[in-house]
Each structure stands twice: as C-alpha cells, then as structure tokens.
Amino acid sequence: MIKAGIIGSTGYAGGELARLLLQREDVEIKWYGSRSYIDQKYASVYQNMFKLVDAECMDDNMKELAEQVDVVFTATPQGLCSTLVNEDVLSKVKIIDLSADFRIKDVEIYKQWYKLEHGSPEYIKEAVYGLPEINRDKIKDARLIANPGCFPTCSFLSTYPLVKEGIIDPNTLIIDAKSGTSGAGRGAKVDSLYCEVNENIKAYGVGVHRHTPEIEEQLSYAAGKPVTISFTPHLVPMNRGILVTAYASLAADVTEKEIRAAYEKYYKNEYFVRLLEPGVVPQTRWVEGSNFADVNFKLDPRTKRVVMMGAIDNMVKGAAGQAVQNMNLMFGLPENTGLKQVPLFP
C-alpha cells in the first residue's frame, strides 16, 4: 500500500489527484492539505467526494507529513514547494512537485520569468523533469520530480520527434496553444469569470508566458543546441483541454512517410501517446478525462514547413495524471496503473 499526501488538495490539480488516487486499491491518501480550508471537510469543498472522503483538510506541514506517507504531491502555487523541501524531508519521502519550482535548471532564468527567489536551489540539479516519455529511467530512481507544465507537455510531445531527428529547424518553431479555463487555477480572478470567458477567445502572456523557458529548455536538450521559440497561449471557453498547433521550417527535404516514421520511432511503444491516422487531427474532446496525448502532423510542401498538432487534457496528462504516472515509475509499478480511463464523451 502506497501512502500519499497531497498539499494543495483543493485546487483543480489537487482535486484531480484525489479523484485518480481514490480509484486505486493500492494507494491510501493520508493527508488532504489546504491552507484555505484547514479543519473543513474535504467533501464540503468538493461535493463529488461526498461519502467517498471523510477526511478534513490539513495544513502544509511537510515535516510532519514526511513521517506519515511514502510520497507527497505538491499541487501548489510557484515558490511554495521550494521552501518546504530539505534533506531531512527528502531522506524520508518522495516528492512530486506540480509547480514550476524545479523544472528549470538555471535558477536565474527561473527568477527572471517567475519573479521569485528560489527557496532551495541546491536541489534543482537533482530534480528530474517528470516527462516519462523521455526521462523514464531517471524517474524510476528519483526522490524529487518536477512534474511538467501543461503547455510544455503538449508542446513537447507534439514536436519532439522532429526536433530530435533534425527534421525541422527548431529556431523557426512557432507554437500556438489553446487551453480551457481550468488551467488558470481555482482562485478567483476577473479574467476567469464566466462572463469574461464565455463566447470569447483571447491570446494572453504574449511573448512573456512563463512556460516559454521550460519548453525551450526541453527542446534544447532534444536538439542538442540552444532553441528559441515563439509561444502564444490562448484562453478558450471550455473547462478542460489543450490544443497545440505548431509550425516550423523543414531542415531538409523529407516525405510525409519519413516524418511519420520519426513519430513512430519515438511513440510506437508509448501507451499514452497516440499517433493518429493520416489526415486525422487531434481534438480535445477525444482525450478529455484521460491521460492520453493525441498527436499528428501535416507536411506543407508549398511553404516547406510542417504543421505539428497535439491535444491533451490539461488536468490529467498536463498535471495530475502525469504526476500519478511518475509515481507509478518511482514505486516500480506498471506505468499505466490507475490511468487507463477511457476519454469521456460527450
């Protein structure tokens, strides 16, 4: 039995973690952490948990939590996890951090984009970027996981094979991404109000979105050289989902068959990455509620570019599901344990 604790359990990602873990017979959630709802019944915050969870919300006492559980998920705002991590904690418990605190290896870049002082920079090098499709072996032996961001997950999986194989010039890469409003979190914000979002679509964080350096860093590892991209996210009036449409110039003349072979090389044996049939475009409705990432591409010989496309559920593969996928690897379990949910439709 894996004993788990969730700090930030009343946010959207924390609630999704609870939903996924409660379905398992081999996991017990011992700690529902939430600063905002201490001593309140968890089921009073999320009524869907009525009769399923009898626990009350607790604080974020990492020292005490580390004595009680095997793994801690921190689904908290940027900056908190790095202040809670220390050697005493890491010697007792595995940590999967869903914030950005340990994703970026250069602490100065983290400070620049997140406008925060890092609480424990000594652990940045040790932390493993938790994208199983590329870091599976490192994740298995890790004690601190930096769970990837939702936009970076979809952007990377959509473009990785062509960057890795040198089929595109990565510095010509333009990523257009669209997300449902759950990606903005559960906190009250004017821009997330129903009347602000409904019947509307808008770009935001243009040129300055904080997921940009994370995407660039991971693509740089794939390319073997520094990569600079243009990344623009958009907010669309739906609860869940991310759709990425990326464009890049070809580095050499290739056929559609050769491009498809590159995707198959990296994803043929990946349970959660589904390379779609030719001509089928990814859609968020076909991955909703699941840990799947649907990807495909379209060669455009006229412009000598390729269009790369991907869709994920931002709350599952983009957050909680990927965190559970990482937990499975860390505890020697089949990667898809507890994550075989068929996408919801309608």
Do 164 and 255 belong together in one domain? yes
Do 174 and 285 belong together in one domain? yes
Residue 77, in any domain of the structure: yes
Q: pLDDT band at residue 187, thresholds of 50, 70 and 90?
A: confident
Do 82 and 189 belong together in one domain? no
Residue 180 has pLDDT above 90, yes or no: yes
Strand order in the sheet with 202-203: 202-203, 230-235, 174-179, 242-249, 305-312, 293-300, 273-275
Residue 218 maps to which CATH number? 3.30.360.10
Residue 88, in any domain of the structure: yes
Do 113 and 198 belong together in one domain? no
Structurally, how many domains does the chain consist of?
2
Do 97 and 229 belong together in one domain? no
From CA 156, how far away is CA 109, in angstroms rounded?
Answer: 19
pLDDT in tens, 239-270: 999 999 999 999 989 999 999 999 999 999 99
pLDDT at residue 191 in the model:
87
From CA 266, how far away is CA 255, in angstroms rounded?
Answer: 18
Residue 320, in any domain of the structure: no
Which long-range CB contacts under 8 A does 195-201 form with residues at least 24 apart? 197/235, 197/237, 198/237, 199/237, 200/235, 200/237, 201/234, 201/235, 201/236, 201/237
Do 103 and 234 belong together in one domain? no
Residue 186 has pLDDT above 90, yes or no: no
pLDDT in tens, 206-246: 999 999 999 999 999 999 999 999 999 999 999 999 999 99
Q: pLDDT band at residue 323, thresholds of 50, 70 and 90?
A: very high
Do 188 and 100 belong together in one domain? no
Q: pLDDT band at residue 184, thresholds of 50, 70 and 90?
A: confident
Helix, strand, or coil (residue 13):
helix
Do 172 and 287 belong together in one domain? yes
Query: Does residue 5 contact residue 33 with C-beta atoms inside 8 Å?
Result: yes
pLDDT in tens, 85-119: 999 999 999 999 999 999 999 999 999 999 999 99
Residue 339, in any domain of the structure: no
> Could you list the residue range(s) of the whole structural domain that residue 65 is in?
2-126
pLDDT at residue 122 in the model:
97
Q: pLDDT band at residue 192, thresholds of 50, 70 and 90?
A: confident
Residue 10 maps to which CATH number? 3.40.50.720
Q: pLDDT band at residue 188, thresholds of 50, 70 and 90?
A: confident
| Positions marked catalytic | 150
pLDDT at residue 189 in the model:
85
Residue 60, in any domain of the structure: yes
Do 120 and 158 belong together in one domain? no
Mean pLDDT score across all residues of the chain: 97
